Amino acid sequence: MPVKLALRILVLAGAALLLAAGVENVALLAGSAAVDYWAVEDLKPGMKGYGLTVFRGTRPEKFDAEILGVLRHISPGRDLVLAKLAGAGLEYTGVIAGMSGSPIYVENKLVGAVSYAWSFGKEPIAGITPFAQMVEFVESFERREGMAQGQRLRLPEPIRVGQHTWKEVWLAPLSADSEPQNLSGVKVTDSSSLRLEPLKLPLCGIGFTRHTLDLLGERLAPHGMVPVQGGAAAPGKASAADAELVPGAVAVVGMVTGDLSLYSLGTVTHVVGDRVYAFGHPFLGLGRCEFPLYSGYVHTIYPRQSLSFKIGSPLQAIGVWHADVSTGISGWLKRQPDLLPVEVTVRLGKDGPSRRYRCHVARHRNLTHQLVYSVLTNAVDAEGELPDELTAELVVELELEGQAPIVFRDLFSGSSVAGNRAPPSLYQPVANLVQLLSTNPIASLRLNRVRCDTTLLAGRISADIEGVHLENEIYAPGETLVVYVWLKPYRQPRQRVRVELPLPPDLPEGNYTAQVMDDLSNARYEVRDSPLLSNPTTIAQLMEALAIQTNAKRTQIAVRVTLPSSGVVVEGKAMPDLPPSMTAILGQSRRSGVATLGSALVARETVPWVVQGQQSVSFRVLRHKPFLLEKREMR
């Protein structure tokens, strides 16, 4: 058999197997759904039925539903059934946040999930996502997901090509990413809008302060999340019967578990074997996800004119949510989610009492950094009102699979970490780092653990750079540049710090500028000046750029003298130490992939303060200095 023909047969065989597997899965789902569900075209205004949801405890209760009509094609492939709800106090509360996913039945056939409503409605009129479309969109997502990840399929019969025999084929993944790049859930409109909106979801926290919950709520508010102070269910509330999900039962999505808990709750629409469908609208519109699936308990309904909501708690972890699509969320029972361990310790004083939190947060490239930020921020915020004069010592370790851990130690002090501003300011750099690792376009990096130790110290040890003076205005190559930096520590007299920077013997003549700053700012300049580090194309370059910034210390003064460009980067390869004429020619080239390689002389001096601010001063380099050049008198 010719090789090309055999390889073509391999590809066709693999594709046929994948198609057959997909058809088999669809048939399996269709066969498992023993309960019939309505096609939207068969629904008529005036049809009456009932819905199921939990108003208190764990047992679903009935409420009445009357079909008002069908809105066809509200978006591509989407219809929406309008229904008027009644009974169980809904005339008083309106449609309730937490009812998302409540199944509606007509003639004991499933219509779909309560999922939309109007704000400030005088009657409980809801939009219902047809269950057929909930299943369709999840299956479509899973088919795309399977193609995006690639599959290894066993051939019915081995195929021999030349000296090789193939018993299986690997179908390569599609090039397109199957998940959204951003939190792209349905955006919430103004409350006065006449648009039908997804039902809001309570964002509940156990062990979270109101301040931290509000911070996270601000970031998730555009996706219909409403911060609600939550709490754990009392002992004895959970039983084996409560862990069994049925239509109308409480469906809880966990985002943070452990010593702190962050979750949202809605309602189960339908269960097919071990497959669970809920909500009827997106959770966060993440596509592929991996959230813990809990059973839940409703303590009560809090009625409000604008938005009534359920106050509930998670009970038992019983599965994992894996798909978050436009028509709802879907998950599997009896499976375990892959979560990121996060451990944070807060200590009051060098030898003072400490408090430790051990949590696990959901993994998702567009969400994990926000959850890590919330856990870390809450650990400090839980200590209560912080003083305006504060210093924080931070030690952070990020464990990466297949890479050396990223560790940084630093001090924070000054107006940005005073009082209630301290928690967000301290941990935003950590969140940014986690986000960078999760979303880098080079390669997938798995974060195995986040550890953070924070020591809060009384008093402020910041110092502002107020002035800079040079010992001389003219230097010869090979001499030492002497810089005097005037610092103004907080509530202390001005201090003068001497920093020495040796100049290379071959330094070209010309005018130069010495920039004085903290070492972290200097590290950012260093990364920016290197095209290989500011726009890395390999994991090694990315890790080097991160190491430069995480190794920098705010308690170091950095004197930086930028040098003339002496090299270029061509298509990712550095060409340093080129003649100035060659550097100029290549740097001005119209050829793509060419960038100038910057360099600088840097000297550092450690001080007992957290340095803030930046100053600069100019000087000249001459090979033949004037013979009588007096030193500048420092005042």
Within 10 Å of residue 388's Cβ, how many Cβ atoms?
Answer: 13
192: amino acid identity, one letter = S
Structure tokens at 451: 């550890």
CATH number of this structure's domain 368-458, picked from the four choices 1.10.10, 3.40.50, 3.30.70, 3.30.1490: 3.30.1490
Block mean pLDDT (10 aa), the chain, length 635: 44 45 41 66 95 95 95 86 93 91 96 88 89 90 61 52 50 36 42 66 89 82 78 68 82 95 94 94 90 94 84 93 93 95 94 93 92 92 83 94 92 81 82 92 93 93 95 94 96 96 93 96 91 86 92 95 75 63 57 68 96 95 72 43
Angle of the 368-381 helix axis to the 210-220 helix axis, nearest 10:
160
617: amino acid identity, one letter = V
Q: 227 and 214 in contact (C-beta within 8 Å)?
A: yes
Q: 440 and 542 in contact (C-beta within 8 Å)?
A: yes
Question: What is the pLDDT, as a whole number, of residue 453?
Answer: 96
**Nearest-angstrom CA–CA distance, 368 and 347:** 25
What are the Cα distances from residue 583, in Å, to 245, 421, 527? 68, 47, 20
Q: 400 and 446 in contact (C-beta within 8 Å)?
A: yes
Cα angle for residues 67, 226, 279 (degrees, 5° grid): 40
575: amino acid identity, one letter = M
Question: What is the pLDDT, as a whole number, of residue 23?
Answer: 40
Structure tokens at 618: 């100019």
Phi then psi dihedrals of residue 539, to 5 deg:
-65, -35
DSSP per residue over 134-190, as a string?
A: HHHHHHHHHHHHHHHH-EEEEEEEEEEETTEEEEEEEEPPPSS-SS-SS--PPPP--
Q: 425 and 612 in contact (C-beta within 8 Å)?
A: no
Q: Please list the alpha-helical segments (H only) found in 411-494.
A: 422-439
Q: 28 and 46 in contact (C-beta within 8 Å)?
A: no
**Nearest-angstrom CA–CA distance, 110 and 39:** 10
Please name the residue that has the structure tokens 């090309």. 4
Q: Where are the domains of the chain?
A: 1-187+196-233+243-337, 368-458, 462-621
DSSP 442: S
Residue of 318, 340, 605 whose CA lies nearest to 485: 605
Phi-psi region of 236 (alpha: psi -120 to 50; beta: other; left: phi over 0): left
CA 13 to chain centre: 40
Question: What is the pLDDT, as a whole number, of residue 425?
Answer: 81
Beta strands 556-563; 510-518: pairing state = antiparallel
CA 508 to chain centre: 47
Residue of 484, 519, 500 whose CA lies nearest to 617: 484
Residue of 200, 299, 311, 313 whose CA lies nearest to 252: 313
Q: 593 and 571 in contact (C-beta within 8 Å)?
A: yes
Structure tokens at 631: 């030193």
What are the Cα distances from residue 479, in Å, to 37, 474, 505? 86, 10, 8
Helix (H) or strand (E) holding 287: strand 287-302
Structure tokens at 438: 């999760």
What are the Cα distances from residue 427, in Å, to 146, 454, 623? 36, 10, 49
